[in-house]
Copies of this chain bind each other. A is one copy, B any other.
Amino acid sequence: MRLFLVEGGRIVDRKDGPGIGQLTSSPIAALRQALVSWLPREFRHVALCGMAGSRNGVVEVPYADCPAGAPDWIAHAIEVIVDGVAVTIAPGLAGEGLWGAPDVMRGEETQIFGAIDHEPSLAKGRHLLILPGTHSKWAMIEDGAVTRFQTFVTGELFALLSEQSTLTRTGGGDDDRANGFMAGLDHRDCGLTGAMFAARSRQLREGRTRGWAMGFLSGLLIGREIDDAVAALDDVAGLTLIGDPALTALYRRALQTRNLGANDLDGDTCSIAGLSRLAASRCYEGSTC
């Protein structure tokens, strides 16, 4: 959970809490509790995106189907009244992935429509946006509409492998992560589930550290995501990375090893721009919009 208090277009406070899978109360109770601490302010708009609109969220908001521009997306939003406050919850998007399977996103579409507002050059023509994270998304936008996207489970897989697998459990220090990352990026054109084992075998046989192995797995997974996406796309000109700056920096370095450049946009800035756009599109009884 990430909540931003915005006054006059500026963030004046934020609250960060557990994700929806880690909540000990209901999502609506968690939201109430977070909002109460900001009283006695009067909220003009409260807008949420991401898992708040999932089946286990505050209220299930059906996906908008691709191709979807901001007006389609806004039209699919749902309002609920929580303690007398109108709360707008964004829909996610549904579409077809790069290899024909159905695909879904919740939250990234808000960053995408926020990015288009924030960076007007994205509103016309064809662009490719990369949103790294637990479930990394590659989204194609054409004249401001999301036409196609593909999820990669890069972040979730990295967390499982680095925290819970035997691949990083051999021991040794946490240093040398940057060298491991570059070695993982270099490990191309090979079976991925075979290559992963080198994180362990290079510790056992070449004295690599646990930190090196973590970096290696990160580089291997990010490199593979990029190579698989690029192989499936006709054209990868005009890349834009959206996300946490520490994470987009890793992707930018990985793209460089493939001779690809990318612009960078901050993920929180894009989220707030998208939520502001959603909030501004709604007028409630008694509000002054």
Contacts and interface: CB of A to CB of B under 8 A. Distances in A.
Number of this chain's copies in the assembly equals: 2
Nearest to A229: B191
The contact size tier of chain A is: 35 or more
A32 to B, nearest CB: 26
B102 A193 contact: no
Interface string A7-23: 00000000000000100
A94 B21 CA distance: 42
B164 A201 contact: no
A202 interface: yes
A196 B153 contact: yes
A153 B159 CA distance: 16
A152 B193 CA distance: 5
Contact of A193 (B154, B166, B201, B202): B154
Q: Which of A97, A154, A192, A221 has the most CB of B within 10 A?
A: A192
Nearest to A189: B99
Nearest to A97: B194
Contact of A153 (B99, B193, B202): B193
* A interface, over-half SS: helix
Interface string A229-249: 101100000000000000000
Interface in A120-163: 134-135, 150-154, 156-157, 160-161
Given A161-B160, A204-B104, A192 B195 contact: no
A99 B201 contact: no
> Max chain B CB contacts within 10 Å: which of A134, A165, A195, A231?
A195
Contacts of A99: 187, 189-191, 194-195
A98 interface: yes
A198 interface: yes
Q: Which interface residue of A196, A201, A202 has the most chain B CB atoms within 10 A?
A: A201
Contacts of A36: none
Interface string A186-223: 01011111111110111011100000000000000100
B166 A156 contact: yes
Q: Considering the complex of A and B, which 8 residue pairs feature the smallest CB-CB distances, nearest first?
A: A191-B228, A99-B190, A101-B198, A102-B205, A151-B197, A160-B160, A152-B193, A102-B201
Given A99-B189, A151-B197, A191-B225, 9 more contacts: A99-B194, A99-B195, A101-B195, A102-B201, A153-B165, A153-B167, A191-B228, A191-B229, A191-B232
